[in-house]
Structures are given as C-alpha cells and as structure tokens.
Chain A
Amino acid sequence: NAGVTQTPKFQVLKTGQSMTLQCAQDMNHNSMYWYRQDPGMGLRLIYYSASEGTTDKGEVPNGYNVSRLNKREFSLRLESAAPSQTSVYFCASSPQGVGSGNTIYFGEGSWLTVV
C-alpha cells in the first residue's frame, strides 16, 4: 500500500522557471492538501481540495496553482519560481475534510531549491 506518493523527490530550478509537483494517493480519500515546510515555521497550507472538483487557497497560496485532476491526483504548479519558494513540499490526504475522526496522511516530501 503506497499511501501518498509525490514526484519528484528532488528538484533544482532557476529563478523564473516553471514546474509541477505531482501527487497521487491510493487510499480513496476525498480531500487532498499541499503544504510547505520551512525551518522554524512549521507546516503551512498552500492549497487544498476538499473533494474532487474543488480547490481552495490555504495560508500561503501566492505563486502557486493547483489542479485536482481526479480523486487520486492533486498537482501543484509553480509558474515562475522564486528563491523564496525554496522549501520542502508535502502532499497529504484525508478521508473527508479534516474533522472528528479524520486524519491527514502525508507523502514523503519533495525538496525544491530555486537558484
């Protein structure tokens, strides 16, 4: 059981380049999330999708776009990368939108460096 799978694991981008982080879950979860993790900042929500066909902004959405391709897949796109987007990105999923009894499960992370 793979759980939440992210690709790529590592990526180096030049300022201004674009790229897409891919995420897929095989747990039949309805909700999916993208977080970034920076030293001393904790995990911060970028975008989320409460269910297939819907997406909403989180705490730090600027510079990012997302696509909920189907129930399994949720991608994160950086249209014009900036050094401030150097971070570790985590995709996650939960059975419903997080509420009583629902827990968020995380992928292994994608390390992105923008030079």
Chain B
Amino acid sequence: EDQVTQSPEALRLQEGESSSLNCSYTVSGLRGLFWYRQDPGKGPEFLFTLYSAGEEKEKERLKATLTKKESFLHITAPKPEDSATYLCAVQALGGYSSASKIIFGSGTRLSIRP
C-alpha cells in the first residue's frame, strides 16, 4: 500500500539551530515528491518538487533532498518566521488518473523560538 510518513510530528528549535525534517515513502513508483508549508488558518503553500533520487532544491534557508526511500527538508539557521507545519506529498505511478495518486503526509509542526 502506498504510504507517506513524516517525522517528527513536532519539532521545537531555538533560532539559529539547524535541523532536518524527514519524509519517508513507500509507493509503487515515484513520479514526484512535493514539499508545502502551511501556516495556521491558511492553505498549503508550495515550496519544492523533486523528481529523482539525488535531486536537491533550495529556497532561502530551506533545502530539500531526495533519495529512493525518503526526502529531507533541511532548515539552516531558522528564524521565528519559519514556524509552520511542513507537508510532504508523493505522486505515485498507477491508477487510472495521475491526479488520484497523490498521497500527503500528516506534516511536521515546526516551532522556532527567538
């Protein structure tokens, strides 16, 4: 069964303390892996798409990496404004329509203390 698991569920860091969020997946075949940021009371905001193992993408203090079984979202020297829930989603192969094969993880709640 296709599955996406994010860890940890919650993470509290001090401002400037770098860390990583994990997204592990088991799918029949990977078409793409997405990272989103979600602020309280808002919709998910797109951050990155990764397509193949070894790929990396960066945006400000965030860097996403991908292996054959998991993705990491690395946060370097975070600031309080980086506090949010980070969602991972995987698009799997198969199904009669690609749109139905996107599986979301339940997210990691990141809190950055000043």
Residues of A at the B interface (CB closer than 8 Å) are 4, 31, 33, 40-45, 48, 50, 56, 58-59, 90, 92, 94, 97-101, 103-109
Contacts and interface: CB of A to CB of B under 8 A. Distances in A.
A50 B97 contact: yes
B98 A99 contact: yes
A103 B46 contact: yes
B31 A99 contact: yes
Contact of B91 (A33, A58, A98): A98
Contacts of A104: 34, 46, 102
Contacts of B98: 97-99
A41 B44 contact: no
A59 B54 CA distance: 31
Contacts of A56: 97, 99-100
Contacts, number: 67
B98 to A, nearest CB: 5
B99 A97 contact: yes
Interface string B1-15: 000100000000000
A106 B89 CA distance: 13
B41 A109 contact: yes
Contacts of B89: 43
Interface string B91-109: 1000001111011111100
A105 B49 CA distance: 13
Contacts of A40: 106
Interface string B38-57: 00011111100101000000
